[in-house]
Amino acid sequence: MLHCPKCGLLSFEFDGQKIYRCTHCDYEFFFNAATAVGALIIKNNQLLAAVRAHNPGQGQLDLPGGFVDPDESLEEALKRELQEELSITPSVMRYYASGSNRYIYNTIEYTTCDAFFICEVEHFGNMKANDDISEYRWIPLQEINLQAFAFNSVQRVIEKLINQYS
């Protein structure tokens, strides 16, 4: 973004953190952190991990979840993502922790704030990977390699979970 949306001049400058400001007309645009959600689903001491189908982090592990759409709550977004990615419906979603990330998409670096929920799922019968994930894996908690996960916030929340469970 180089052109000011108000006056149209090539005078739009980024402060390097979150504000674009026009040096000509003082118009400001705030580039705030995007909200995302992730699910921690544990069964028999195994964590449900997703394999990312697309970049960033294609082929690396992630937690099921994704970005919150406009007008959605965190819970609505997580329910929708679990349905889209795995065709499962959580019966319980309990907020656990959050973390920040930097996420590059189409050469733009976005900052995100990711909220993680411990989810209980009663029926895994129809579970299948689609949408943003290419497959899913159950990984025993004691065998988890944090470096195999694409994002910092996800690595940190899983680390917290492992420390709490062991």
Residues near Zn ion, by CB under 5 A:
4, 6-7, 22, 24-25, 27
Residue 108, strand partner residues: 105
Task: Considering the complex, state which of residue 3 and residue 102 has its C-beta at the smaller distance from Zn ion.
Answer: 3
Shortest CB 25 distance to Zn ion, Å: 3
Measured from the CB atom, the residue of 4 and 133 that comes closer to Zn ion is: 4
* Closest to Zn ion by CB, 19 or 146: 19
Residue 31 Rama label (left phi>0; alpha psi -120 to 50; beta): beta
* Closer Cβ to Zn ion, 26 or 135, answer by number: 26
Query: Is the CB of 6 or the CB of 160 nearer to Zn ion?
Result: 6
**Are the C-beta atoms of 145 and 158 separated by less than 8 Å?**
no
Rounded distance between C-alpha atoms, residue 90 and residue 98, angstroms: 19
Inter-residue contact 73 to 153 (CB < 8 Å): no
Contact predicate 112/36, CB 8 Å = yes
Distance from C-alpha of 3 to C-alpha of 22, rounded to nearest angstrom: 8
Q: Rounded to whole angstroms, how far apart are CA atoms 157 and 121?
A: 19
Q: Which stretches of the chain are DSSP H helices?
A: 74-86, 152-165
- Least distance in angstroms from the C-beta of 113 to Zn ion: 29
Shortest Å, Cβ 80 to Zn ion: 37
- What's the closest the beta carbon of residue 83 comes to Zn ion, in angstroms? 43
Least distance between Zn ion and beta carbon 20 (Å): 10
